[in-house]
Structure 1
Amino acid sequence: MRTPLASMSALALLTVPTIAAPYIANAIFPNVPAATRDAQLLDFYQQWKSTYFTYGCGEGRAYVDVGGDDKPVYGGTEAHTITVSEAHGYGMLALVMMADVDSDAHADFDAMVRYFHDHPSLSSPHLLAWNQVEGCADAGDDVGGTNTATDGDLDIAYALLLADKVWGSAGELDYAAEARATMDAIMAYEVEPVGMHLGIGDWALRPDDTYFRNTTRSSDFMTSHLRAFAEASGQVDWYSVLDRTYAIIDAVRASHAAGTGLMPDFIVDLDTVPRPADAVFLEGEADGMYSWNAGRYPWRIALDYLTFGEARAKAAIDPVNAWIRASTGDDPTKIADTYGLDGSTLPNHGENSMAFVAPFGVAAMIDPANQAWLDAIWADVVDKPVADEDYFGNTLKLLSMIAMSGHWASP
């Protein structure tokens, strides 16, 4: 069943949440009144939640239903998929960051944690199995349903840290302990212990795997998460992972994307010279291009500058902003859904997908020179109906709107 939304008034306006991160002083925001931005965010959050958030798979359990809009589910999932770990992490982030205006958020978040407990990966009870299907079972071995995907676990750990900050850990669920356990499991099973890079999942870092071991995925480059993990745990190895991530970005930019700053979906040969993956390396022809995985990269990296003032993040995203503005003529509706690292597009490419447009809005916030560009992106994002996008586009739109409106939080 869908969660009730009666407790959220469509007329309610956000105040800055108690857990919102103070952004760096020169950060910019869409040039509309803050109350208007907040109302637009709340309206879309309500639409997103009524479409995708659902209770099921046991008493007091909830998940993000990736097929809640009755549209096809992609990403290599098994037939009849109901959710994936990436979606679970996104949902937990959204709930805790919108808790100030959603009185159901605490109970809903706890229901998502219980679901997380019910579907452990094979490697650790503190990591989430990647894919579940109708009937609430984990997907089969043919799609690696009980393996992990690193991005989902990173977001879950970060959301648990935020939950400890906003609700404390003295109740039924000890969020702080849960976060520590998940962070430790990520370090043990999803970080390559020699190169200290983020792996693409526990399956790729098993002792008998060599082909995927020295691979990373740019959508996992959550550098502000890594910094937060280091500060919360006191474990200095997280700083090593953070530094390695920026070193990989620098290497790929210098040799393969000097004119654009773009990252490919997958980066290989991390034990020698990092490079974009070949076509059909893992998921498809665009594995070495800026495509459906890498489209999240501008949002993730920009947050490290906006919330922590990380100079390496700004250096990485400045050229991306310059290139995308020039290539579209400052018209976000012309943003394509896949690019070569040289900025080229594919024949018959799509345009104006929120999975690509909205993350560029967060990236625009790092420099006042991007004000008109940010305003155009915000207007385009707000104008796009929920029915025009699928789970992926709508969810990246929601999380990007949370960031663009100033409500992204740090532990």
Structure 2
Amino acid sequence: MLLGKKFETVSKSVVCTMAAVLTLMSGPAGAVNLSAASANANTASLPAANSFSAEQYPFPHNVVYPHGIMPSLDRDTLNRDMLNMYTKWRDLYITSEGAQPGELRIRANDSTYKNGTCSEGMGFAMLITVYMANPSNSGRSDFDGLFRYYQRALSPGYNFMGWKVDKDGNSVDPYSAPDGDLDAAISLLMAHKQWGSGGEINYLAEAKKIIRDTMEYLIYKPSYIVKQSQATTTAVISSYEIPGWFKLFGEITGEDRWEKVTDAAYKMFNHYYNLNPQTGLVPYKWVLSPTGIPTYTGINGPDSNSTSYGFDPSRLPWRVGQDFLWNGTSSHVLAHDFPDRNLKWFMTKINGNPDTALASYNIDGTNRAAYTSPRNMVGPMAVGAMVDASNQASLDLLYHYLRKQEPMSDWPGGYYQDAVMMMSMLVLTGNMPNFYDYEPYPNSTLPAPLPVTDTTAPTKPLNVTVTGSTYSTIDLSWSAAADDQGPVMYEITRDGKLYNVTPTLSTKLEFLDPGKEYTFAVRARDAAGNKTSSDAVKGSTAADLAPPSKVTGISAQARTLTSITLKWNRPADNDAINEIAYDVYMNDTKINTSKVYFPGDFKVENLQPAAAYKFKIAATDKSGNTSTSDVFTTSTTATDVSKPTRPSFVYAVEKTSDRITLAWNVSVDDNPAGTVTYDVYNGQQKMNTVPIGGTTFTMTNLQPGTEYSIKVIARDAAGNSQESYIYDTKTKK
């Protein structure tokens, strides 16, 4: 069983008095040695809720991880690299556009998110922000703004975010993508250590909500592999396995099932480690078998996802490598061996030139993509290099490549590549420690800027011209600026705000609104940060006057005595990137109170049994053009054929050596006249002799130190039943 690790937050006065002690524990260049500091942290007590006015763990963190190696550079250089990259990343990707007052969001500028937001990006941004927070920056207000947006975009009925939100703040897909939520939970745990939880946001409580819902809804049982979302049955995305996070979740909550989630992740990694002995690469996606081992038969069959190592799984050397840096091989020997094997294959593949890294490979190591995508490949592989001293030369080569990069949204998948590069750089520079395992670095100060020798700005970019436009894009080009110190970068602003960074002389501004005029400028920036802006130029997207096609494929996804759940197909529109909003009409009366953006799971409730209803769906594009579907007629059922809701959050509220008292959330039935009762099972053995009318039950006459696999079955008056997820727990010894 994982024991809840005790932790503390050290006051500023304690930090000052500990300076001499921490100096004795320092590694190279004044770095805090976590293996020494953690011994003290592990014996401390959980702090009372409080509201700190300043960061308790301010950037830079200057740590030497308990395990692994670091790049061969001094601390000031590492911290300066991190700060420079963070400043540019924040300016480019953190925005208040499309957010409510007091909120911030990540701007995901690729063809999937279309300048909208995704939970993955929000998790990245919250992690980056909590680790970069310092009294001299807006770290806490940024973090709180990001979390407010995350919270407003929660998947209905859950404590995790719907994975995709459009650029105007509308939910496009309400289902979870667990990687973003796992990162959000860890960031909230770190925020609790950073600022305390007594302010406007109770960071610790919010983290525990996400952790609780993740275990309940996003973990397959009994295999304990992370699901693709709460809506899937057997699909798995490999990079959602983050063993270092799982270990900390178990320690913070005292929930021993997180140990099983960690074990399941390494079981999957071990499968591919043995399947591909030259590379150890893991594919993007696979289908779960009953044993928890990947398979590709019986569900979707083999497809390209089952052999592709690309954008998503490229994170794994960082995810697993970080588990080693924090925890060594306490979780599994593969915490070392898995990223080490990935790295050694990668170094032979790029032959000393990181620029040649492709966007994807096959898991046997052969080439797959036709274009390069080095940032998301090189960053995680560099973290993977940190697990073994034999990789020092490889680590230094990859790090020196990364430190010369800067966030540029013109790259393919720019937002994602830059976010993964940022996360990797936090680890590589010694700025992503486990706050629960070390004391704050005393007198932490920002690195001094290098002396400025270049004070001459580049020449002004000339001939900024709109060269083309569509409903949602505008093409710009310009003449080169000159600088006496070398090449320049170009920052493109849209209506006064930074939109893009590129080294080229043209760009395509995408995901714009149709029929709208924008003001653009191009700033030439040299390596020293000197800038010169062009004159402003105006450009307009084409007006969209055509409505979407009619909605088709309307069907009853589910029918009960008193409800009908509708789904339909997304209609075509002449603006391919446009998000469509829907209104639902029942018997010619609009029944939705706000626009609907997801073409499914629309539940109409409080209906009459055995009654027919007529529905129409109106589809409206961004320009306000509307089309209306044909009538779809369906009815509620005449008898009760629907299950009660699943009994959720089965949990042991009390345990002794021979009894376990269980509790769970009430199940709801669609028949208002019906009642729900419960049965409790240990495996296949029913534990109660009569139906349980409430939501608690005590199992007695149990064996000490024995694990029990429990499920609760809810049953309505018509005999329809629904099982809870499996809950594994042990009696005390």
TM-score range, shorter chain: 0.7 to 0.9
SS of 2:308 mapped into structure 1: coil
The aligned counterpart of 1:214 is: 234
**Is 1:18 equivalent to 2:69 in the alignment?**
no
Q: Which amino acid aligns with 2:279?
A: T
Report which of the two structures shows the higher radius of gyration computed on alpha carbons: 2
The aligned counterpart of 2:486 is: none
Q: 1:259 to 1:232 in 2, by over 3 A?
A: same
CA contact (8 A) 1:277 1:288 kept: no
CA contact (8 A) 2:67 2:324 kept: no
Structure 1 segment 151-190 matched on structure 2, within 5 A: 151-190=179-218
Q: Deviations over 1:224-263 (max 9, x none)?
A: 0000100010000111100011011112222x31221111
1:189, 1:50 → 2: CA distance? 35
The aligned counterpart of 2:367 is: 345
Structure 1 segment 340-379 matched on structure 2, within 5 A: 340-346=362-368, 349-379=370-400
Q: 1:101 to 1:45 in 2, by over 3 A?
A: farther
The Cα of 1:401 is off from its aligned counterpart by 0.4
The aligned counterpart of 2:73 is: 32
2:157, 2:296 → 1: CA distance? 26
2:106, 2:351 → 1: CA distance? 36
Q: 1:272 to 1:243 in 2, by over 3 A?
A: closer
1:54, 1:112 → 2: CA distance? 10
1:138, 1:259 → 2: CA distance? 42
Q: Which amino acid aligns with 1:260?
A: T
CA contact (8 A) 2:359 2:374 kept: yes
Candidates 109, 134, 145, aligned match of 1:111: 145
Q: 1:293 to 1:23 in 2, by over 3 A?
A: same
CA contact (8 A) 1:249 1:263 kept: yes
1:168, 1:408 → 2: CA distance? 18
CA contact (8 A) 1:230 1:238 kept: yes
CA contact (8 A) 1:252 1:276 kept: no
Taking only aligned residues, the RMSD between alpha carbons, in angstroms, comes to 2.4
SS of 2:286 mapped into structure 1: strand
The aligned counterpart of 1:261 is: 280
Q: Deviations over 1:66-101 (max 9, x none)?
A: 12xxxx333xx4xx4510000000000000001136
**Is 1:309 equivalent to 2:343 in the alignment?**
no
Candidates 414, 418, 429, aligned match of 1:394: 418
The aligned counterpart of 1:209 is: none
The aligned counterpart of 2:121 is: 87
- Unaligned runs of 5+ residues in structure 1 are 1-13, 140-144, 205-212
The Cα of 1:123 is off from its aligned counterpart by 4.1
**Is 1:334 equivalent to 2:356 in the alignment?**
yes
CA contact (8 A) 1:252 1:274 kept: no
The aligned counterpart of 1:73 is: 111
Q: 1:277 to 1:66 in 2, by over 3 A?
A: farther
CA contact (8 A) 1:266 1:276 kept: no
Q: 1:172 to 1:354 in 2, by over 3 A?
A: same
Q: 1:274 to 1:26 in 2, by over 3 A?
A: closer
1:214, 1:252 → 2: CA distance? 18
The aligned counterpart of 2:313 is: 294
Candidates 233, 237, 251, aligned match of 2:253: 233
CA contact (8 A) 1:216 1:268 kept: yes
Q: Deviations over 1:128-187 (max 9, x none)?
A: 011111321101xxxxx1000010110000000000011000111111100111100111
The aligned counterpart of 2:671 is: none
1:384, 1:52 → 2: CA distance? 16
CA contact (8 A) 1:267 1:274 kept: no
The aligned counterpart of 1:252 is: 272
2:157, 2:214 → 1: CA distance? 10
The Cα of 1:51 is off from its aligned counterpart by 0.3
Q: Normalization by structure 1: what TM-score?
A: 0.85
The aligned counterpart of 1:135 is: 168
The aligned counterpart of 1:10 is: none
CA contact (8 A) 1:292 1:338 kept: yes
Q: 1:184 to 1:37 in 2, by over 3 A?
A: same
The Cα of 1:314 is off from its aligned counterpart by 0.5
The aligned counterpart of 1:324 is: 346
SS of 1:343 mapped into structure 2: coil
Q: 1:21 to 1:312 in 2, by over 3 A?
A: farther
The Cα of 1:321 is off from its aligned counterpart by 1.8
Q: Identity of counterpart residues, as a percentage?
A: 25
Q: Which has the higher contact order (CA 8 A, sep 6+)?
A: 1
Q: 1:198 to 1:22 in 2, by over 3 A?
A: farther
Q: Normalization by structure 2: what TM-score?
A: 0.49
1:102, 1:363 → 2: CA distance? 32
2:141, 2:31 → 1: CA distance? 21
CA contact (8 A) 1:82 1:134 kept: yes
1:257, 1:349 → 2: CA distance? 22
The Cα of 1:102 is off from its aligned counterpart by 5.1
CA contact (8 A) 1:21 1:307 kept: no
The aligned counterpart of 2:130 is: 96
- Structure having the higher strand fraction is 2
CA contact (8 A) 1:24 1:305 kept: no
How many matched pairs?
373
CA contact (8 A) 1:23 1:307 kept: no
Structure 1 segment 52-67 matched on structure 2, within 5 A: 52-56=93-97, 57-67=99-109
2:296, 2:149 → 1: CA distance? 34
The Cα of 1:118 is off from its aligned counterpart by 0.9
The aligned counterpart of 2:427 is: 403
The aligned counterpart of 2:538 is: none
The aligned counterpart of 2:626 is: none
The Cα of 1:23 is off from its aligned counterpart by 4.8
1:23, 1:270 → 2: CA distance? 40
2:79, 2:62 → 1: CA distance? 16
- Unaligned runs of 5+ residues in structure 2 are 1-29, 33-55, 437-733
SS of 1:202 mapped into structure 2: coil
- Structure having the higher helix fraction is 1
The Cα of 1:111 is off from its aligned counterpart by 1.0
The Cα of 1:384 is off from its aligned counterpart by 2.4
1:86, 1:26 → 2: CA distance? 28
1:227, 1:401 → 2: CA distance? 22
The aligned counterpart of 1:142 is: none
Q: Which amino acid aligns with 1:243?
A: D
SS of 2:116 mapped into structure 1: strand
The Cα of 1:281 is off from its aligned counterpart by 5.8
SS of 1:383 mapped into structure 2: coil
